[in-house]
Amino acid sequence: MSRLLPFIGFMLLAALFGFGIWWNTQHDPNAIPTPLLDKPAPAFNLPKLYEPTQTVSKADLLGKPYLLNVFASWCIECGVEHPVLQAEGPTLGVQLVGYNYKDAPADAKRWLAEHGSPYALVIADEPGQTAIDFGVYGAPESFLIDAQGVIRYKHIGPLTPEVVAKELKPAIAALRKETP
Are 118 and 95 within 8 A, CB to CB?
no
Residue 72 or 94 with smaller CB distance to another protein: 72
With contacts defined by CB under 8 A, how many residues of the chain interact with another protein? 26
Under the binding rule (CB under 8 A), the answer on residue 3 touching another protein is yes
User: What contacts 3, CB < 8 A, 6 or more positions away?
Assistant: none
Residue 138 or 147 with smaller CB distance to another protein: 138
Q: What is the DSSP letter of 158?
A: P
- Site pattern 84..123 for another protein (x: CB under 8 A): ------------------xx--------------------
User: What contacts 134, CB < 8 A, 6 or more positions away?
Assistant: 36, 41, 42, 70, 141, 143
Residue 124 or 168 with smaller CB distance to another protein: 124
- Site pattern 28..57 for another protein (x: CB under 8 A): -x----------------------------
Are 46 and 133 within 8 A, CB to CB?
no
